[in-house]
Amino acid sequence: MYWFVFKNQLRAQNVLLLVASYIFYGWWDWRFLSLIIASTFLDYFIAIQLGKTDVSKKRKFLLGISLAGNLGMLGFFKYYNFFVSSWIEAWSSVGITMEASTLNIILPVGISFYTFQTLSYTIDVYRKEMQPTKSFIDFAAFVTFFPQLVAGPIERASHLLPQFYKNRTFDYQNAVDGVKLIIWGMFKKVVVADNCAFFVNKIFENPEAYSSGELFVGMVFFAFQIYGDFSGYSDMAIGISKLFGFDLMVNFKFPYFSRDIAEFWRRWHISLSTWFRDYIYIPLGGSKGTQWFQIRNVMIIFLVSGFWHGANWTYVVWGLFHALMFLPLLLFNINRSHLITKSYGWLDFAKIGFTFFVVCIGWVFFRADSIADAFQYLMKLFSFDSLEINYFFKNNRYLLSSIVCLVSIALLMIIEFISVIKKRSTVKISNLIAIILVLMIFFMGSFKNQLDFIYFQF
């Protein structure tokens, strides 16, 4: 219908995408369509008003309404119970008992993603970096574009919105590339991530029951679970978008081949890290000013990044951990030492291994239910009580699942390393590799243990 019935009918194509996106989002819970529609109306009309005035105070007031409205909705649905519970616990720690009621609030899927996407539009219009759109249909389709609506990439209005203005024609090669990306993303999700999740969930439920060696493998498996899960969704979103003639930004550039934490954050969840860089870090002064200002800015950006991920102190500690790993690079002015790579030597591989290990330590805080649970996991891990990993081979099912995890992770890393060596920003797979991946999806995919995408909760 999109390409044939509405061929060369841009308006009709955009309306179809908007309707499809509303159905897609409303299928989860139609009640929360009101939130995304409210956010769309708010920023559409705020931007129109911003385009009509050059009065500084009025422009700041309008921007303030957008920020308050969007962040207010995000804050209530995502953080209300967290703040109430934290307030009670804080007073309880000094012996004062307080009573306050929490609410049975359902977190709307993707609210953190589409909130930041609409805010980028309003802020860019406020900065006069783009003109406000006059078409509500185009803007609403941009906000709700279903391939990336619930888990990113967080698209900038300056990149995605203009694509709704231009006539789109079917491109066979673009569609083939899109299908291959969908296959690649599905492989990462159902073969890598969901198979690893089988072991990860059991190990993190009761880390005291496992040896140091088993905890180490569990930690590594979670690193690949979250990467396969999140980047797999991004790949599928980009691939599906290609089928409709859209180009989304690359969200992951092989982060587990990073040689330090700074490079990791240039490769991991790029749409979020660049959003924080452009709308928070640089306005705060970035790397300019005194050393103390630079440290302050880094701490703020990483703590906010951690807090964005969820209403739990574990995410804040995860952000703090990465800030502490990043600061030495900044202070010694080596945080941009790996922008260009001509070749990889043994020292580079040693750095990659060390950085991956550091990132894995951080993932323990991200995955644990509480800070205490995270420290319990790490204390048992570094007790080195036993390096045995018999748990993964205790019966034929566990042995087979372990082999699937190891083989799929090895294939993932080999394919990505080839892309790194060839200096590509995305994976390019041949028809033969695509067929192999499809077979692995059908025969090795963890469909019985299929889980929701991790980042749906954010």
CA 60 to mean position of chain CA atoms: 30
Contact 378, 364 (CB under 8 A): yes
Q: What is residue 251's three-state secondary structure?
A: coil
Q: Which token pair is 426?
A: 């995305």
- Find the length of the chain: 458
Please give the backbone phi and psi of residue 434, each rounded to the nearest 5 degrees, phi first.
Answer: -60, -40
What is the C-alpha to C-alpha distance for residues 114 and 121, in angstroms, rounded to an integer? 11
Render the burial of 274-307: b for 16+ CB within 10 Å, e for the rest: bbbbeeebeeeeeeeeeeeebeebbbbbbbebbb
**Spatial separation of the C-alpha atoms in residues 205 and 213, rounded to whole Å:** 16
The torsion angles phi and psi of 96, rounded to 5 degrees, stand at -105, 120
Q: Round to whole Å and give the CA distance between 247 and 241.
A: 6
Buried b (16+ CB within 10 A) or exposed e, 412-443: beebbeebbeeeeebbebeeebbeebeebbee
3-state secondary structure of 390: helix
Chain centroid, CA 142 distance in Å: 19
Q: Give the span between the Cα atoms of 131 and 180, in whole angstroms.
A: 35
* Helix (H), strand (E) at residue 305: helix 291-309
- Residue 322 falls in the annotated catalytic set: no
HSE-up (13 A, CA, CB side) for residue 282: 7
Using the CB atoms, write b or e for 80-95: b if 16+ within 10 Å. Answer: ebbeeeeebeeeeeee
Which one of 159, 269, 309, 322 is the catalytic residue?
309
Beta-carbon contacts of residue 306 (< 8 Å; ≥ 6 apart): 315, 316, 317, 318, 319, 320, 322
Is the distance from CB of 194 to CB of 226 less than 8 angstroms? Answer: no
Q: Which residues are designated catalytic? A: 309
